[in-house]
């Protein structure tokens, strides 16, 4: 018995060692590329540090960086813009759900439509931004040329206008993300039992009643997933802003991540940028926590 037990324990140890060897590349990557930078950011957020000068020049200043953020107009505008960008998520989800229902019920070439709508999502963000720079050109862009052709003498300047720059960016973000949301919603629609719709037809329910009482409740878990992913995505947007507007005009499209990049790599204020990153992390965590608590009231298991 002891020999058999020894053989089993020895075999189990070998399997454990082998399993750790297989997952070690991922663990090392997470530690080096995620955990260590996060810990470094937490520490550096309380210092006045310039990464060019080296770690020996880091000076502990306590909460001074966080106090300075309260008086930083660009940071406050960037946070406000991030809050406004949150509206991209529910608007895009509403359009995606509408398209998913229409394509699922009334379109024969469903796979082709999925590919068409999914293409912007998998396309290069830089390429998409350059295309929309041309489309939104204030003088020679096709959009303004069309508006002037139908009698609008002074069309908006779009990306060059403080009033219309951020809404233009929000429109582009919706256009990019709607394909991903559409694919997820169509997958959710395929999992709704047809028996529910057949029973509703027998009871004489119309299309709106079936959507309100069957389709939408059965897709609440899908909607919750898209909501979480979308909200986090709005706080990560960088490349689109960097190529389209570089935060302008007059910081009207600046977002927190882009301002963090400017602070750290252009202004070389690494400690201050780390404080911005910590505030952003805390803000995203609070919003995600609120969503997680609120989902208990509207998400069907």
Distance CA 104, CA 237 (A): 30
pLDDT number for residue 268: 85
Q: What is the largest CA-CA distance in the chain?
A: 94
Calculate the alpha carbon distances from 153 to 136, 163, 165 in Å.
16, 18, 19
Same domain, 13 and 152: no
Same domain, 202 and 170: yes
Same domain, 218 and 129: yes
pLDDT number for residue 167: 92
For the record, the structure tokens of 240 come out as 């689109």
- 131 falls within a domain: yes
pLDDT number for residue 115: 85
Per-block average pLDDT, block size 10, for the chain (301 residues)? 56 80 88 87 85 74 88 91 92 92 84 86 88 87 88 86 90 92 90 85 84 86 89 88 87 90 87 90 86 74 59
How much is the pTM?
Answer: 0.84
- 60 falls within a domain: no
Distance CA 49, CA 256 (A): 20
- 56 falls within a domain: no
- 58 falls within a domain: no
Q: CA angle 40-45-47, nearest 5°?
A: 100
C-alpha 118, offset from chain centre: 16
- 54 falls within a domain: no
Q: CA angle 120-126-127, nearest 5°?
A: 60
Same domain, 230 and 141: yes
- Number of separate domains in the chain: 2
Q: Which residues contact 88 (CB under 8 A, 6 or more apart)?
A: 170, 173, 174, 177, 230, 234
Yes or no: say if 231 and 288 are a contact pair by the CB < 8 Å rule.
yes
Same domain, 165 and 231: yes
Domain hosting residue 28, numbered range: 2-44
For residue 237, what is the domain's CATH number? 1.10.3720.10
pLDDT number for residue 259: 92
């Amino acid at each position: 018995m002891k020999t058999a037990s020894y053989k089993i324990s020895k075999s189990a140890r070998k399997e454990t060692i082998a399993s750790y060897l297989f997952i070690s590349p991922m663990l090392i990557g997470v530690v080096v590329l995620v955990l260590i930078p996060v810990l470094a950011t937490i520490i550096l957020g309380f210092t006045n540090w310039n990464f060019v000068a080296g770690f020996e020049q880091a000076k502990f200043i306590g909460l001074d960086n966080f106090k300075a953020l309260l008086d930083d107009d660009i940071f406050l505008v960037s946070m406000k813009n991030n809050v406004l960008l949150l509206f991209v998520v529910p608007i895009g989800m509403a359009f995606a759900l509408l398209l998913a229902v229409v394509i699922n019920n009334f379109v024969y070439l469903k796979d082709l439509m999925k590919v068409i709508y999914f293409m912007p999502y998998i396309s290069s963000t830089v390429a998409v931004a350059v295309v929309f720079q041309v489309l939104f050109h204030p003088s020679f862009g096709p959009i303004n040329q069309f508006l002037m052709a139908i009698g609008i003498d002074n069309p908006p300047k779009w990306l060059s206008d403080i009033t219309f720059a951020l809404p233009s960016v929000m429109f582009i973000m919706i256009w990019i993300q709607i394909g991903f949301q559409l694919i997820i919603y169509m997958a959710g629609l395929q999992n709704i039992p047809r028996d529910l719709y057949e029973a509703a037809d027998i009871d004489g329910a119309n299309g709106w009643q079936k959507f309100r009482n069957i389709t939408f409740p059965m897709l609440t878990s899908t909607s919750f997933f898209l909501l979480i992913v979308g909200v986090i995505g709005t706080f990560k947007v960088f490349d689109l802003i960097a190529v389209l507007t570089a935060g302008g005009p007059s910081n009207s499209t600046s977002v927190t991540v882009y301002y963090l990049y400017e602070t750290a790599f252009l202004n070389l204020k690494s400690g201050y940028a780390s404080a911005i990153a910590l505030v952003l992390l805390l803000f995203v965590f609070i919003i995600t926590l609120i969503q997680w608590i609120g989902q208990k009231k509207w998400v069907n298991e």
